[in-house]
Amino acid sequence: MSNHASDYILGRWKAENCKHFYLNANCFIKDKNGKVSIIKEVKNKITYLLSKKTLIFFGGSKDNRDIGTYKTCLRNLLNGSGKPISILDQFRDNYINTLQLPLQPLRDNVCQEIYQLFEKDHMKYVKYKEVVKYFQ
């Protein structure tokens, strides 16, 4: 794709308030020290999108462990390369937008307060009845 065409597409994304975009693993490169960075052509294009808190879909990687490295690279790009990422942010990034196993209070050892809160959740019963009705 020519630079002019990609500038045009980026302009449309800006005008249409893009909320999501797909980023392929081949947009990232490793240097001789193993540090991952984003290729220059892509870096110049997505800085704006990152500043608008767009949701990024990653693809093209054979190893899911790479996604954390890509996220760190993009966070560094957004924050500026001089600002280190806090340990809390690194830990939190591993769980944002990640499917979690649902709480199972009878299986999991939870305290009484959490169990009571779980029992008061009305929506849980509504959804359960919908599923039972669907499969009958």
Judgement on whether residues 69 and 133 belong to the same structural domain of the protein: no
Judgement on whether residues 76 and 22 belong to the same structural domain of the protein: yes
Where do the H-state alpha helices sit in the chain?
Answer: 3-15, 40-51, 65-79, 87-93, 112-120, 122-135
Contact between 93 and 66 under an 8 Å Cβ cutoff? The reply is: no
What pLDDT, on a 0 to 100 scale, did the predictor assign at position 99?
Answer: 61
What residue type is 89 in one-letter code? D
Judgement on whether residues 92 and 117 belong to the same structural domain of the protein: no
What pLDDT, on a 0 to 100 scale, did the predictor assign at position 94?
Answer: 65
- Domains: count for the chain: 2
Q: Which domain holds residue 129?
A: 101-136
Angle at 76 between CA 73 and CA 81, to 5 degrees: 120
| Residue 100: DSSP 8-state | -
The Cα 10–Cα 48 span in angstroms is 9
Judgement on whether residues 29 and 84 belong to the same structural domain of the protein: yes
Judgement on whether residues 131 and 82 belong to the same structural domain of the protein: no
Judgement on whether residues 66 and 30 belong to the same structural domain of the protein: yes
What pLDDT, on a 0 to 100 scale, did the predictor assign at position 58?
Answer: 81
**Average pLDDT of each block of 10 consecutive residues along the chain (136 residues)?**
61 74 86 85 78 79 76 79 65 66 74 82 87 86
End-to-end CA distance of the chain: 52
What pLDDT, on a 0 to 100 scale, did the predictor assign at position 2?
Answer: 46
